[in-house]
Amino acid sequence: MATKLAESRPDGELQRKSVDAVVIRFAGDSGDGMQLTGTQFTQSTALMGNDLATFPDFPAEIRAPVGTTYGVSAFQINFASYDIMTPGDAPDVLVAMNPAALKVHLRDVPKGGTIVLNTDAFTDRNIAKAGFGANPLEDGTLDNYVTIEIDIQKMTLAAVADIGVTNKEAVRCKNMWALGLMCWMYDRDRQPTVDWINQRFGERAPAIAKANVAALNAGHAYGETAELPSGIPAYIVPKADVQPGVYRAVTGTEAIAWGLVTGARKAGLELFFGSYPITPASALLHTLSNLKQYGVTTFQAEDEIAAVCSAIGASFAGSIGVTSSSGPGVALKTEGITLAFAAELPLVVVNSQRGGPSTGLPTKTEQSDLYQAVYGRNADSPLPVVASCTAGDCFFAAIEAVRIAVTYMTPVILLTDGYLANAAEPWEIPDVDGIPEFKVDFATASDDFHPFLRDGKTLARNWPVPGTPGLMHRIGGIEKSYDTGHISYDPENHHRMTKVRAAKVDGIADDIPLQEVASGPSKGRLAVVGWGSTFGAINQAVERSLAGGLDVAHIHIRHIWPLPRNLGDLLAGYEKILVPEMNNGQLITVLRDRFLVPAEGLNQISGLPFKVSDLEAAIRERMEGQP
């Protein structure tokens, strides 16, 4: 459609310049609808067949005072005609809806980059509020950039003038105008956005729907007809050459929700999800609340403790109980988690990590809860820990967490983070029928029944469910006898039970895949070892380094605890080990402790994902002297 519109230009001479990859960042006030603009652009881009990755970056304040730098919300999308894994290091195009957005994001735009400016917003007051000494449009600040200065607000108001919306409603359409312009510039189809607008507002507020569509179309038409400054061509980003299949855009949050539902189904259980709202984990509660027809019960508890306890109570009753939070909330759940560990009930605890400690940086991403997941409990309470590494991988990681929980009758920590939770990527939809089942067999009555009868292989206790005649039993947090399941204060029994609980969790290492090398050789000069959401950035950096002839490999660990059986031997095959983490060095402690390897950390604790270029530079640095 866009191509046709382009051809309809009066001069008929539009030549689209073909580029392989583009990074666009939309930035504006948190009330300007930048996340929505970015999401819609993502949908269109996904449907165009590009590979993509996104990075929503928003403030903790819902609506900070208008025009301030701390109220700036941004959404970055990287899309390409080839396989990409990160939202991009630096934007090629910055859309700045006000001076504050320009102030915050200008430093990331490389010289020569394009900046689209909503000039209406550059009033003296806003310029001062953003912290500029003078008008950046006039004082040479932008000399090294290509700027497109448009009165977006004025244009929007004109476009919707006849529709009969209030001035305030009209102004709010300006994000759609900017989106329309970007759709024209990068040859995106507007129809998915039109459909979305109509679905969202159509029945409820037809005038608002009409205004938004009008603004979108006006922005697009502006691109077609306006005399843009020279050097601003329209672009085309050819389709990526991707594996044939059915695709959709997915965020980590959606993938975890679907993975939990799928895991429960594979186990033959109902899913119970108890949660308390916390950024950035709340979206999982919202998503699952809309999946009730798939055997899901959601419960918004009164607090984090009740959330985990309700999930434990549900597992006791024979559902798979799941709870979800971020680091501070998981801290509150800790006593409940150890109850589930002691009572040996299945439970999945999803931690969407964010910047900490304490309230920290609630809307920013971090990987700083690995210690909490692996070590952060009283007593000898080892737990399996699984970490997802991409938005799409969250689906499989969630299934794996459910599988381990029900197979081994144990709580499992599933680590994700704020970046994965919000970031979107195209995802080849898997065939659920091809995913192996792990159906649960509840205990049945027998003469030797007691609640701590164990499976000889997994060491998991049997799972007798209330309501079953003949299996009445009592469990709880007090130590239980290995032989009868009754309360026991016997010293040798406590020693034995502690050992068997640990052996059970250790034994999971025999039931998870051996560690593979994601890229590069299986022995050599340098291994870059990561976990979680750094996968994309590390992989791209290692791939580029390999292409440049460097002897480097990428190892990405999914099973943080227990670790894969071969990991120690694998790591021993490299001269150097570099461990990039978005924390002050946590996985590295585990690796050094378990394998006594001379690992070196590369730590970024900015609340932002790694840049590929920074990782490449770090790799190069450790390769100095390589022949």
Partner 1 sequence: MNVQTPVEQLKPADYASDQEVRWCPGCGDYAIVKSVQRTMADLKLAPEDLVFISGIGCAARFPYYMATYGFHTIHGRAPAIATGTKLANPELDIWVVMGDGDCLSIGGNHTLHAIRRNVDIQMLLFNNEIYGLTKGQYSPTSRLGTRSPSTPQGSVDAPVNATVFALGAGARFVARSVDTNQKHLPEILKRAHAHRGASFVEIIQNCIVYNDGAFSGWTDKAAAADSQIQVEHGKKLIFGKDGDRGLRLDRNSLSLEVVTVGDNGVAEDDILVHDETNRVLANLLGAMEHPEYPVAIGVLYCDPAETYDSAVHRQIAESVEKTPPTDLNAMLRRGRTWTVAPS
Provide, rounded to whole angstroms, the least separation between the CB of residue 477 and partner 1.
6
Count of beta carbons in the 10 Å neighbourhood of residue 363: 19
Provide, rounded to whole angstroms, the least separation between the CB of residue 131 and partner 1.
40
Q: How far apart are CA 334 and CA 306, in angstroms?
A: 12
Name the residue nearer to partner 1 (CB basis): 241 or 455: 241
HSE, side-chain direction, 13 A CA sphere, residue 441: 7
Which DSSP state fits 409? T
Name the residue nearer to partner 1 (CB basis): 444 or 522: 444
Question: Which two three-digit tokens encode residue 252?
Answer: 């980590």
Which DSSP state fits 384? -
Which DSSP state fits 16? P
Provide, rounded to whole angstroms, the least separation between the CB of residue 258 and partner 1.
6
Q: Strands 51-57 and 72-80, how do they pair?
A: antiparallel
Provide, rounded to whole angstroms, the least separation between the CB of residue 523 and partner 1.
36
Provide, rounded to whole angstroms, the least separation between the CB of residue 159 and partner 1.
26
Provide, rounded to whole angstroms, the least separation between the CB of residue 218 and partner 1.
24
Q: How far apart are CA 264 and CA 271, in angstroms?
A: 6
Provide, rounded to whole angstroms, the least separation between the CB of residue 398 and partner 1.
13
Name the residue nearer to partner 1 (CB basis): 119 or 289: 289
Alpha-carbon distances, residue 470 vs 152, 216, 445, 473 (angstroms) = 73, 66, 6, 9
Max CA pair span of the chain: 91
What kind and span of H or E run contains 408? Answer: helix 393-408
Alpha helices in 59-205 (DSSP H): 99-105, 124-130, 152-159, 167-171, 174-185, 191-201
Name the residue nearer to partner 1 (CB basis): 251 or 583: 251
Length of the chain: 627
Which residues is 416 bridged to in the sheet?
352
Name the residue nearer to partner 1 (CB basis): 92 or 304: 304
Q: Are 608 and 557 in contact (CB under 8 A)?
A: no
Q: Strands 17-18 and 235-236, how do they pair?
A: parallel
Name the residue nearer to partner 1 (CB basis): 199 or 522: 199
Name the residue nearer to partner 1 (CB basis): 319 or 325: 319
Provide, rounded to whole angstroms, the least separation between the CB of residue 194 and partner 1.
13
Provide, rounded to whole angstroms, the least separation between the CB of residue 2 and partner 1.
16
Name the residue nearer to partner 1 (CB basis): 301 or 537: 301
Three-class SS state of 561: strand
- Non-local (6+) Cβ contacts of 148 within 8 A are 114, 115, 116, 117, 228, 229, 232
Provide, rounded to whole angstroms, the least separation between the CB of residue 133 and partner 1.
46
Name the residue nearer to partner 1 (CB basis): 480 or 559: 480
Name the residue nearer to partner 1 (CB basis): 312 or 567: 312
HSE, side-chain direction, 13 A CA sphere, residue 263: 30
Name the residue nearer to partner 1 (CB basis): 193 or 365: 193
Name the residue nearer to partner 1 (CB basis): 395 or 535: 395
Provide, rounded to whole angstroms, the least separation between the CB of residue 290 and partner 1.
8
User: What sign results for the dihedral spanned by CA atoms 370, 372, 377, 383?
Assistant: negative
Question: Which two three-digit tokens encode residue 438?
Answer: 């792990």
> Which residue has 């091809």 as its token pair?
434
- Non-local (6+) Cβ contacts of 226 within 8 A are none
HSE, side-chain direction, 13 A CA sphere, residue 36: 19
Provide, rounded to whole angstroms, the least separation between the CB of residue 85 and partner 1.
18
